[in-house]
Structure 1
Amino acid sequence: MTLFYKKIHLGHVYMQLWPRDKTLAAMFPENRIITAVEFAIRWLPVLIVMSLASQFLLGAATFWPVVMASVFFMLSLPLQGYYWLGQRAETRLPPSLSKWYVDINNKLGQQHLVRQPRYLELAETLNRAFRQLDKSFILD
């Protein structure tokens, strides 16, 4: 079970590291997943309370199992997003992105690079690049 929690935590860390730039949204699905997770964290508690209140006030007792199943499903949605992000953070970069990772690090003047970079290292590098370089590094 600790592996699951580590992956959820890594997904949260990865979500915080990933730069929110529109130019990256066309190349990576991370922006859409992060937006969905943030939306779920903000609005699902309201939806859960509303569905429980409406069931309590208006629903028949026979529908409680269905309502509880849907509540548990809604509670799991942000965790699914964090898990996906954690899994993505641990995934090794394909060769084309690995070369791009090396090129960006060379522009940043980094000497020691990870031999087999993951998406987590790419997120760190992109975050640094957006702070230190202009956006032309994306097109190179």
Structure 2
Amino acid sequence: MSQSVFTLLRDGQDYMNTWPVKRELYAFFPECRVVSATKLAIKTMPPLAIVAAGMMFNVLGAAYLPQALAIGLFFISLPVQGLLWLGHRSNQVLPPQLKSWYQEVHRKMAAEGCELQAMRSQPKYRELASTLKTAFSELDRVFTQKWFN
């Protein structure tokens, strides 16, 4: 299934905003680190790109304009790479072990009365993110901590 770059970027942005960055999840999912790094890169890399390219142009002169632009584009590409990774990851189907864990969490949350999306037969990481976000926002800390110990 081929997707456009813009679709992946949009999916990555949505996934980044949905994924709950919680201490309990850091050991199990790389998303927490990627989301944190991408959010930091979105804030810091554009100004750093301008400063790096501007300083290179100022110090080395117009002869190094292509290199200065390349440095600036490299800095700008870092948050884009994070969003692309997140977009790709959000569209991947959960592996079998994670799928059964997702279904167990979904059933327990439904038993507690949480409003959830319908359980899918082939859930993707975006459904897991949505379920975990609901779990951390609606359920108390004692209930969610049982899943991560």
Q: TM-score, structure 1 length as denominator?
A: 0.91
- 2:74 aligns to what? 73
- 1:89 aligns to what? 90
In the TM superposition, what is the alpha-carbon distance from 1:71 to its structure 2 partner?
1.0
Distance 1:117 1:94 in 2: 9
Match of 2:121 among 112, 115, 136: 115
Distance 1:68 1:18 in 2: 34
Distance 2:84 2:63 in 1: 33
Query: How many residues matched?
Result: 139
Distance 2:131 2:148 in 1: 15
Higher mean C-alpha deviation, range 113-122 or range 130-139: 130-139
Matches within 5 A, 1:1-140: 3-109=4-110, 112-133=118-139, 134-139=143-148
Identical-pair percentage: 35
Indicate conservation of the 8 Å contact 2:18/2:129, yes or no. Answer: yes
Unaligned runs of 5+ in 1: none
In the TM superposition, what is the alpha-carbon distance from 1:57 to its structure 2 partner?
2.5
In the TM superposition, what is the alpha-carbon distance from 1:112 to its structure 2 partner?
3.4
Task: Give, as a single letter, the amino acid of the residue that structure 2 aligns with 1:136.
Answer: Q
Task: Give, as a single letter, the amino acid of the residue that structure 2 aligns with 1:93.
Answer: L
Instruction: For residue 133 of structure 2, give the secondary structure of its aligned residue in structure 1.
Output: helix
Distance 2:51 2:33 in 1: 26
Task: Give, as a single letter, the amino acid of the residue that structure 2 aligns with 1:132.
Answer: E
Q: TM-score, structure 2 length as denominator?
A: 0.86
Unaligned runs of 5+ in 2: 111-115
Indicate conservation of the 8 Å contact 1:37/1:81, yes or no. Answer: yes
